[in-house]
Amino acid sequence: MPDVALIVLNWNGADLMRRHLPAVVRAARSARASTAVYVIDNASEDGSRAYLETLADVELIAMPDNRRLAAYNDAVRELDCEAFMMLNNDVSPAADVVDPLLETLRGAPDAFAVGGDVVEIGSGWLESGPSSARWEGRWVLEPTGASAGEEVVNVAYVSGGAGLYRREMFVELGGFWEALPGLYWEDVELGLRAWLHGWRSLYDPRIHFDHAGGATVKRTLNPRVRELRTYQNIRLAHLALLLDRDDLREYLGGELRQALRKPYQLAAALSLLRSLGEIRAHRALLRERCASVSARELQMRWRQ
């Protein structure tokens, strides 16, 4: 098995893979570290698998249905690699991306993940990279908010579409939380959960990924469903990860005040009730492993 597995997640994205997968293969060939390319296909119906059969340097990991990001949980458990890269099918990594990412990961034994700049193709807009999060009664994300120069720095989380993850830690965490229904905040929840365990996420300014912004998500969900599931993901993540009871009370108070101002969100809030069992189980496991880490203490960890 390779030292590094480059794993592209795909669902009905044959056209996107034709544009971006050659860059992934080129990155694997350019790496000094032993590197292999895999594509997780979430039961595509558009000819994706037929296209992959034409590529000698890419191994297919076929899923029986659309598992979304949770497909990584199944795939990574079966791969005996040191680290793996999560890549959306609309992302093209730089050719020299593997070795510096692996060097940074190996240089920090407590590092869970390493990412770099994710830049939108065409506009050149920096979508994410030096990410941060600040506590204001809830987590406010700043995808490019961390102070970053030419040095590797701590970040709150690494993009789930363009980053290198330590396999052993990912498996120990249980991977992505499968109770989350949407396509946003899964990587944030995972990164915050790793920090609760004392495992860092890092930003390496040498690393560059080109991203066709939103190309995958736009074809996966219609805007209204995407908005609902993003709402659900954010609330579920807060309810599960706020282990300190004072933090949880502060958050719930803010949610109540918001609901009084925006009563149309009541139906979305009620939709979370079906997940109470998963929330309790997730919280119980985290409290057993990590105790009651406060949000402010967690924030200080990546600010050090």
Q: Is the pLDDT of residue 12 over 70?
A: yes
Q: Is the pLDDT of residue 220 over 70?
A: no
Amino acid at 178: E
β-bridge mates for residue 74, sequence order: none
Q: How wide is the angle at C-alpha 184 spanned by C-alphas 116 and 201, nearest 5°?
A: 35
Residue extents of the structural domains in the chain: 4-220
Query: Does residue 218 register a pLDDT over 70?
Result: no
User: What are the b/e assignments for 189-209, b being 16+ CB within 10 Å?
Assistant: bbbbbbbbeebbbbbbeebbb
> What average pLDDT does the chain have?
93
Coil, strand or helix at 203: strand
The answer to whether residue 219 scores a pLDDT higher than 70 is no
Find out whether 59 and 28 touch, Cβ atoms under 8 Å. no
Q: What is the pLDDT of residues 41-58, one digit of tens each?
A: 999 999 999 999 999 999
3-state secondary structure of 56: coil
Per-residue pLDDT of 253-272, as tens digits, reads 999 898 888 877 888 888 89
The position carrying tokens 């009905």 is: 12
Residues 159 and 183: their CA atoms lie apart, in Å, by 12
CB 116 within 8 A of CB 103: no
CATH topology of domain 4-220: Spore Coat Polysaccharide Biosynthesis Protein SpsA; Chain A (3.90.550)
pLDDT in tens, 179-200: 998 778 999 999 999 999 999 9
| CA dist., res. 166 & res. 88, Å (int) | 18
Q: Which helix (H) or strand (E) holds 2?
A: none
Tokens 């929840």 found at: 189
Read off the pLDDT band of 216 (50, 70, 90).
Answer: low
> Picking from 21-30, 44-53, 172-181, 208-217, which range would have the lowest pLDDT averaged per residue?
208-217
Total Cβ atoms within 10 A of residue 249: 11
Q: Which residues pair with 142 in a beta bridge?
A: 132
